[in-house]
Amino acid sequence: MRISQLAAATGVPVATVKYYLREGLLHEGERTAPTQALYDDSHVARLRLVRALLGAGGVSIAQARAILAAIDEPPAAIHLLATAHNAITAPLDAAADVDEVRAITSGWGWRTESCDPAVLGAVAAGLQGLRDGGFDLAPGVLDAYGRAARDIAQAEIDGIPTESAEAAVRYVVLGTVLVEPLLLALRRLAEQVVSGERFGETGPLGD
Amino acid sequence: MRISQLAAATGVPVATVKYYLREGLLHEGERTAPTQALYDDSHVARLRLVRALLGAGGVSIAQARAILAAIDEPPAAIHLLATAHNAITAPLDAAADVDEVRAITSGWGWRTESCDPAVLGAVAAGLQGLRDGGFDLAPGVLDAYGRAARDIAQAEIDGIPTESAEAAVRYVVLGTVLVEPLLLALRRLAEQVVSGERFGETGPLGD
DNA sequence: CAATAATGGATAGTGCTACTCTCCAATGTC
DNA sequence: GACATTGGAGAGTAGCACTATCCATTATTG
């Protein structure tokens, strides 16, 4: 398969395929001459994955490179999740109030001692974002978020394939990135469904 | 308060405040002369909100304008949520398989007849993103997502203030946007916590 | 009251990202 | 042998969120 066929098979323009090759998101084809190469199904699959990450997954080229590197060269199984999360989590903001997060989550019985500080920082940044926007969560809602997050994590960890490091890494890394838009959309849909049940067709103010 | 004081009070450069004024994200100050104006606490609060939306909330200028418009001119209470969601949900993709989403969610007992099609489309796009990336959810995980989304929505709908339309709109719109980063970060943290419980310090493969 | 600074308003420019275009010699196809 | 395609590299583009500059007007200060 030559580059134009690869492009046709995936719907990605040839120029963009070349760009991904240059950026290291796509492995090179097999050389048949100094200026010619052949591509195969592995390139088609990888190209679809790259597009899914950049499109639906909403990650940048640089993040995609980190994610793909994690998939290509599975790190030691220790801290597998931290590796996956590091590929997409912003570096820890020094101003983030991690202690507050530890206090809240320990109230839920979460043991966060060995968690990645960057993820704790991301939670702290999320809470700070609410405050910056002058938004106060109704009482109990944060607890509901914690319970829901734990339920989700429970199901996901149960589902991690254990037969090989490659499969586990792939599942965790892609699950982290690609599932996020789905979760957010499901939340919005559930809000509309629950709102309909609670208030009928009229919305929360009754009209 | 003049523009330089407004800028100092919020940490936003003067040039950026001018930009937000031009873009309609910030209301004009009170004119004291054809080329002079005064700003007050409402501008400080609004500016902080704009920064929270653009920063932590991760929305674009155009989305922020739509969100702020929804807050400024509360729509009829009917379809309040749909209005909030429309401000930030991408327009419905014609290729989205909405029927599949209706089938899955009706299996959960969700009544989606009166839901915004764009939100159904967003769920469909999320599922399609998984497929495009060649990623298969472990069995039962999607059901867990549905349950968690419903639990979250239940708590959020319970928390909507009902004393005024303005408060309700503000709560729903900001809650939709600003809470998203928090939820995603909580999920990552929960994954690490649950992983630690399940596998100890070694990660899912045991090493 | 004069010198200096700050303001609102408009326009243009910046840095970044994700492509996209153009060119070239080397290679492949009919 | 004519023509298209390829890999490779560099330059160009569009969109976004600012940021800088300019200018006439207004405010402040000594």
pLDDT of residue A162: 83
- What phi and psi values does residue A32 have, to the nearest 5 degrees? -110, -15
pLDDT of residue B79: 65
| pLDDT reading at B205 higher than 60 | no
| pLDDT reading at B87 higher than 60 | yes
Residue A11 in any domain: the answer is no
pLDDT of residue B76: 64
Q: What nucleotides of chain D have any atom within 7 angstroms of a protein Cβ?
A: 5-10, 16-21, 24-27
Instruction: Kindly write down the DSSP assignment for every residue of A41-61, as one continuous string.
Output: HHHHHHHHHHHHHHTTT---H
- Mean of per-residue pLDDT scores for chain B: 89
Residue with tokens 């005064």: B38
Please identify, among B9, B24, B54, the residue that sits at the C-terminal boundary of a domain.
Answer: B54
How many domains does one find in chain A?
1
Judged by average pLDDT, the poorest of A39-53, A90-104, B119-133, B146-160 is A90-104
CA–CA gap between residue A103 and residue A111 (Å, rounded): 10
Name residues 5-24 of chain B within 8 A of A (Cβ): none
CA–CA gap between residue A161 and residue B141 (Å, rounded): 13
CA–CA gap between residue A94 and residue A149 (Å, rounded): 25
Q: Are residues B82 and B112 in the same domain?
A: yes
Cβ-defined contact of B129 to A181 (cutoff 8 Å): yes
Q: For residue B37, what is the domain's CATH number? A: 1.10.1660.10
Q: Kindly state the tokens that stand for B163.
A: 């004393």
Residue A109, chain B, CB below 8 Å: the answer is no
Q: B163-184: per-residue pLDDT in tens?
A: 887 888 888 888 989 999 999 9
Q: B37-79: per-residue pLDDT in tens?
A: 999 999 999 999 999 999 999 999 999 999 998 888 876 655 6
Q: Are residues B91 and B129 in the same domain?
A: yes
Mutate: best of A183, A189, A207, partner B, most B CBs <10 A: A189
| Cβ atoms of residues B87 and B173 within 8 Å | yes
Cβ-defined contact of B81 to A192 (cutoff 8 Å): yes
| Cβ atoms of residues A182 and B127 within 8 Å | yes
Residue A61 in any domain: the answer is yes
CA–CA gap between residue A26 and residue A61 (Å, rounded): 12
Q: Are residues B114 and B147 in the same domain?
A: yes
Name residues 64-103 of chain A within 8 A of B (Cβ): 76-82, 85, 89, 101
CA–CA gap between residue A164 and residue A104 (Å, rounded): 35
Q: Which domain holds residue B13?
A: 1-54
Mutate: best of B152, B162, B177, B202, partner A, most A CBs <10 A: B152
Q: How far is residue B122 CA from its own chain's centroid?
A: 13
Q: Percentage of chain B surpassing pLDDT 90?
A: 64
Residue B100 in any domain: the answer is yes
Residue A145 in any domain: the answer is yes
Residue A37 in any domain: the answer is no
Q: Are residues B48 and B107 in the same domain?
A: no
CA–CA gap between residue B179 and residue B183 (Å, rounded): 6
Q: Choose among B144, B165, B172: nearest Cβ to A151.
A: B144
| pLDDT reading at B203 higher than 60 | no
Residue with tokens 């067709």: A201
Per-residue pLDDT band at B93 (split at 50, 70, 90): confident
Q: Kindly state the tokens that stand for A120.
A: 């704790």
Q: Kindly state the tokens that stand for B54.
A: 């653009």
Q: What nucleotides of chain C have any atom within 7 angstroms of a protein Cβ?
A: 6-11, 17-22, 25-28
Residue B115 in any domain: the answer is yes
Q: Are residues B114 and B186 in the same domain?
A: yes
CA–CA gap between residue B116 and residue B112 (Å, rounded): 8
CA–CA gap between residue A123 and residue B191 (Å, rounded): 13
pLDDT of residue A87: 76
- What phi and psi values does residue B169 have, to the nearest 5 degrees? -65, -45
CA–CA gap between residue B24 and residue A150 (Å, rounded): 40
Residue B14 in any domain: the answer is yes
A24: left (phi over 0), alpha (psi -120 to 50) or beta: left
Q: At what angle do helices A41-54 and B117-132 cross, to 10 degrees?
A: 150
Q: Are residues B197 and B103 in the same domain?
A: yes
pLDDT of residue B201: 61
- The answer for residues whose C-beta is within 8 angstroms of residue B72's C-beta and 6 or more apart is none
Q: Are residues B81 and B28 in the same domain?
A: no
Cβ-defined contact of B123 to A185 (cutoff 8 Å): yes
Q: How far is residue B17 CA from its own chain's centroid?
A: 23
Convert B153-191 to b/e letters by CB count within 10 Å (16 or more is b). Answer: bbbbbebbbeeebeebbbbbbbbbbbbbbbbbbbbbbbb
Residue A43, chain B, CB below 8 Å: the answer is no
The tens-digit pLDDT sequence of chain A (207 residues) is 999 999 999 999 999 999 999 999 999 999 998 889 999 999 999 999 999 999 999 999 999 999 999 888 876 655 677 777 887 777 777 777 899 999 999 999 999 998 888 899 999 999 999 999 999 999 899 999 999 999 999 999 999 888 887 888 888 889 989 999 999 999 999 999 998 888 766 556 554
Give the other-Cβ count within 10 Å of A150's Cβ: 22
Residue A141 in any domain: the answer is yes
Mapped onto helix, strand or coil, the DSSP state of residue A33 is: strand
